[in-house]
Homo-oligomer: A and B are copies of this chain.
Amino acid sequence: MRVNSLKPFPYEPGAPAPLRLRVKKEIRFGECDPMGVVWHGNYAQYFEEAREVFSRACGLGFDVLQRAGVVFPVKTLFFDYCKPLRYGREYIVEIVAHWSEAMRVNAEYFIFDQQEELCTRGFSVQLLVDVQGRLVLDAPPFYQEFKDNWAKGNFSGFQNTQRIF
């Protein structure tokens, strides 16, 4: 796989616009390392938190997948660390999901500090597989609904919304 990590998912003309959602959180003491900053490995949790809020908002929550007998494991994950996050502050995770014709979710992440400076960026690719770990080739109903909603612009409500919780 060749990847341009600054533009991992180039926009395809005619595709529905990316979906965008922001989550604001406080850094936990136990997430920081001896340098006084968030330990680099903990950003996987930060990405996942935003992805989960996004998933539930789009009808792709864990319970929905479980009923359909499928899972959405992370296949690839990338981090580019630009500026450390110090303990005692809040951070914002912005997830940007890019349209794909395949049964995968391509997402970019941007983590900002309280001054809205970019601290970490990255991306993930998730693939839909069944419980035996085989790629799902036909879209299950819940997934078709998700894509239809996206194509029709039904998720535009949270596209520019900052959700704080």
Contact surface of A with B, Cβ cutoff 8 Å = 1-6, 26, 28-30, 32-36, 39-42, 44-45, 48-49, 52, 61-63, 71, 73-81, 84, 87-88, 133, 164-165
The complex places the Cα of A61 from the Cα of B73 at a distance, in Å, of 27
A165 partner residues in chain B, CB cutoff 8 A: 26, 164-165
**Number of copies of chain A assembled together:** 4
A45 partner residues in chain B, CB cutoff 8 A: 28, 30, 41
Beta-carbon nearest neighbor of A39 in chain B: B30
The complex places the Cα of A33 from the Cα of B100 at a distance, in Å, of 27
> Separation in Å of the A87 CB from the closest CB of chain B?
6
Return 5 A-B CB contacts under 8 Å, by A number.
A1-B4, A29-B33, A30-B41, A41-B48, A77-B81
The complex places the Cα of A26 from the Cα of B61 at a distance, in Å, of 13
